[in-house]
Amino acid sequence: MSADPRRLAQLLGHLFDRGGLLEQALTHRSAGPVNNERLEFLGDALIGFVIAEALCLRFPQADEGTLSRLRASLVKRDSLARLARGLKLGDYLRLGAGELRTGGHARDSILADALEAVFGAVYIDAGFEKARTVVLNLFANRLEQTDAAHAGKDPKTRLQEWLQSRKRPLPEYLVLSIGGDQHDQTFTVSCLLNDVDVSTRGEGTSRRRAEQAAAQAMLERIEHV
């Protein structure tokens, strides 16, 4: 872990009374027996409830199936990994030698698990209301952009529909790089809107996931195009 975790705490908006909790949340199981797995378990449940509550309040007319699909899209591994990258969470992780060699600090699963663990650590350190505030602050933009009419539609489909409704050309997806071992690859893909020369990038454990991540990034940027 090269970066100071206190900087991460500031980004989260919570300064820990028990600093060891944050360090534990950032410690992968490959680094030793005291790691973030139990905090991850707690944080996973916390995020699920907080986001479910937020969606119920935001979409009072939505049925259970729609709410479930919206929650799944917000808290799935790819989504959590993107949030983690926004915090540069990989810079703070403690990893074993094997994970360091194979680029574990950039892997979706490790980033998503660590983010869940950080939320669990906030809960233990300061209680539910503080943890709820931290989660909602981090998810604020994504919740604001969530549309019940798009429940169940992946980012590539939504981007295509947005462009077609404005009679604009479809995006172009290009594989920029493939890294990692054969059994544990990371794809980096660009999403390009040729008519305005704007592009975004996405990463994932498959080309499809990387394309979806790039499309999601484009959706988030498109209002500024």
* Ordered domains of the chain (ranges, CATH): 5-148 (1.10.1520.10), 155-224 (3.30.160.20)
Provide the pLDDT for residue 151. 63
Interval 35-67: pLDDT, tens: 999 999 999 999 999 999 999 999 998 889 889
Please check if 53 is assigned to a binding site.
no
Name the pLDDT band for 34 (thresholds 50, 70, 90): very high
Please check if 40 is assigned to a binding site.
yes
Which position among 78, 108, 116, 125 bears the catalytic label?
116
Q: What is the pTM of this model?
A: 0.71
Provide the pLDDT for residue 205. 85
Which position among 44, 78, 99, 125 bears the catalytic label?
44
What crossing angle do the helices spanning 77-86 and 64-75 adopt, rounded to 10°?
50
Which residue type does 70 have?
L
Alpha helix ranges (H) inside 59-87: 64-75, 77-86
Interval 4-28: pLDDT, tens: 888 999 999 999 998 799 999 999 9
Please check if 172 is assigned to a binding site.
no
Give yes or no for residue 129 having a pLDDT over 90: yes
116 annotated active-site: yes
N-term to C-term CA, the chain: 37
Which residue type does 113 have?
D
184 annotated active-site: no
